[in-house]
Amino acid sequence: MFFERQKQSDEATINHLCQDLAAHKCHIHSLASRLEQRHSDFSSKYQTEIQDLRDCLLLEQDEKNGLSKKLQASEKELLMSRTKLAQEQKTSVSSQQVEALKQKIMKLRRENEILRRKLQSSQEG
C-alpha cells in the first residue's frame, strides 16, 4: 500500500512536471515567436530608414553635381568676362594713344602752317 501510494505520488509529480515542462515549452515558443516578430519589425524599419537615407544621399549628390556644373559655368563666364575686359582695356589704351597722336599731328600741322605763312611773308617782304 505504501509503495502504491508512493507510485501514485511519483506519477502525479511526473504528470505535474510534464505539464510544467509543456507550459515552459509553450512559453519559450511564444517568446521566440515574439522575438522573431520584433527582429523582423526592427529589420524592416531599419531597411526602410536605410533606403530613405540612400535616396536622400542620391538627391544630395544630384544637387551637388548640379551646383558643381553651375559653378564651372560661372567660372567659365567670369574668365570670358575678364578676357573681354582685358581686350577692351587694351583697345581703350590704344584709342587713347591714337587720339593723343592725332592731337600731336594737328598741333604739328598748325605749327607747320604758321611756319609756312611766316616763310611766305619773309619771302614776299
Give per-residue pLDDT as tens, 36-90: 999 999 899 999 999 999 999 999 999 999 999 999 999 999 999 999 999 999 8
Domain tally, the chain: 1
Residue 118 lies in a domain: no
Query: Percent of the chain scored above 90 by pLDDT?
Result: 86
Please determine, for residue 125, whether its predicted confidence score (pLDDT) is greater than 80: no
- For cell 582695356, the residue is 89
Q: Tell me which residue range forms the domain holding 40.
A: 1-91
Residue 96 lies in a domain: no
Better-scored residue on pLDDT, 78 or 2: 78
Mean pLDDT of 6-18: 93
Residue 99 lies in a domain: no
**Cα dihedral 30, 31, 32, 34 sign:** positive
pLDDT of residue 48: 93
Long-range contacts of 107-111 (CB under 8 A, 24+ apart): none
Residue 53 lies in a domain: yes
Mean pLDDT of 17-38: 95
